[in-house]
Amino acid sequence: MSILPGKVHARLMGGDTSMKYFVYVPNKITARAPLFVTIHGVSRNAREHAERFAALAEEYGVVLVAPYFSKRHFGDYQRLGRSGKGRRADLAPQKITSEIGRLTGADSSKLLLFGYSGGGQFAHRYTMAFPGRVQKVVIGAAGWYTWPDKTRKFPYGTAPDSRLEGVTMNGQKYLQVPACVLVGQWDIKNDPGLNHSEKIQQQQGYTRLERGRRWIDAMNQAAMSAGLDTRYEFSILRGINHDFSLAMKNGLMGQRVFRYLLGAAPVLTARAELSASTLLADVPQTEVGLPAIDKALPRNSRYGNRNIILTGETT
């Protein structure tokens, strides 16, 4: 293995220097260790993703990869990179993880996938396009979603788009991949970064909280209609608005992501001394939280169905 364990490394993909990524290899790694991929939002804070998830990757013994989708080359990465809008972002994870699999021995056949904000858009669309490549997926506060509707063209539905050559979204396949949506309790501002299309607002709602809930409902309904028992879950991070850093620090989002993807943390006989505060000492605050609001989502709100869980501590 040519990647030193216990440290976050920045790498350029072999044969393609425009594709950068960050990788963390745990000190204790087993053959064919799981591979966790985390996707940044439009602030493109891939390094922060890697740094903040590193301690959990060490604890669980998984190899962590955080691709960096530059604005110059991957301007449409949230929608997988349609023709005429930059490079194909959907092809990058397979290339990167195949390289990491060769270098570390990690299992690159099926990914444990997470994305936040714009990265959440990428993560769920990648899963729908390549369900055979994803074991489980967690979507953090995506701005809007591709609906499990084969009558509408991608990215609004799953009907083929000629700008994504070779991509076919098959409901019988993507509806077999378990998914969880995490959204902050206070992520209820209809801010300028959201898709304000009238059709999207009518179908999905006006806020990330409402849109995430409706997508989970739609996926559960689609799975049941297809005769599948796949469970889709919606979880609220208490006291958190739209801020990756605060969600990780105060909302315990990282722990929630890993618990959903991998279950309870294993007990390791030897653990590296990793400190999140040390790892993040040189990482700037790249995603600014929304202005404070005076009301949080009430516990007895209409979001209280069986697939919704309030998590984290109120700040």
The domain ranges of the chain are 8-289
Q: Which residue has the higher pLDDT, 279 or 15?
A: 15
Give residue-wise pLDDT tens across range 259-304. Answer: 999 998 886 433 444 434 334 333 333 333 332 222 233 333 333 3
Peptide bond just before 155 cis, omega within 30 deg: yes
Could you tell me if 142 and 212 are in contact, meaning their C-beta atoms sit under 8 angstroms apart?
A: yes
- Please provide the DSSP assignment of 199-267 as one string: HHHHHH-SSHHHHHHHHHHHHHHHHHHTT----EEEEEETT--S-HHHHHHTS-HHHHHHHHHH-SPPP
The pLDDT of residue 192: 85
The pLDDT of residue 183: 98
**Looking up tokens 């209820």, which residue turns up?**
188
The pLDDT of residue 86: 85
CATH 3.40.50.1820 fits 8-289, yes or no: yes
DSSP state, residue 299: T
Decide if pLDDT at 20 tops 80.
yes
Neighbouring residues of 249: CB distance < 8 A, sequence distance ≥ 6: 276
The pLDDT of residue 193: 83
Decide if pLDDT at 252 tops 60.
yes
For range 11-23, the mean pLDDT:
90
Neighbouring residues of 188: CB distance < 8 A, sequence distance ≥ 6: 207, 208, 209, 210, 293, 297
Decide if pLDDT at 314 tops 80.
no
Could you tell me if 100 and 63 are in contact, meaning their C-beta atoms sit under 8 angstroms apart?
A: yes
* 174 backbone dihedrals φ, ψ, rounded to 5°: -70, -25
The pLDDT of residue 267: 63
For the chain, percent helix, then strand, then coil, each to nearest 5? 30, 20, 50
Give residue-wise pLDDT tens across range 148-168. Answer: 999 999 999 999 999 998 999
Alpha-carbon gap, residue 258 to 261, rounded angstroms: 5
Could you tell me if 211 and 303 are in contact, meaning their C-beta atoms sit under 8 angstroms apart?
A: no
For range 102-124, the mean pLDDT:
97
Structure tokens at 206: 């006006």
The pLDDT of residue 14: 85
Point out the least confidently predicted range of 14-18, 94-98, 232-236, 260-264: 14-18
